[in-house]
Amino acid sequence: MPTKASERNYQREAARESPKRRAERRMRQRARYAFEKKHGDQPTDMQVDHRRPLSGGGTNATSNLRLISKARNESFNRAGPGGKQIGAA
């Protein structure tokens, strides 16, 4: 069962985050910022998504990003290795 947000220590998690993972997260944030700068502010029920996932060889280039609904972006079964999507989208 997932940990409740009220029980998580986010400061400790951030301090323990590896430099590689921190750099990857920062690259995703910069890509999201570039997309929003190009296309304007987005509705809160929409998320920036990678057309080709980073785990599948995709990039953070603006051409690989798209705007889709939050429900669609978070609806995949991600029980595969490394949290990869299982089956067809």
What are the sequence ranges of the domains in the chain? 17-74
Residues of the chain with pLDDT under 50: 1
Q: State pTM to two decimals.
A: 0.63
pLDDT at 84: 63
| Per-chain mean pLDDT for the chain | 83
In Å, how far are 13, 20, 29, 40, 56 from 36, measured between CA atoms?
Answer: 28, 25, 11, 5, 23
pLDDT for the residue numbered 53: 86
pLDDT digits (tens, 9 = 90+) for 13-28: 889 989 998 998 899 8
Question: Per residue in 78-88, is it b (16+ CB within 10 Å) or e — as a string?
Answer: eeeeeeeeeee
Q: Give the span between the Cα atoms of 78 and 63, in whole angstroms.
A: 24
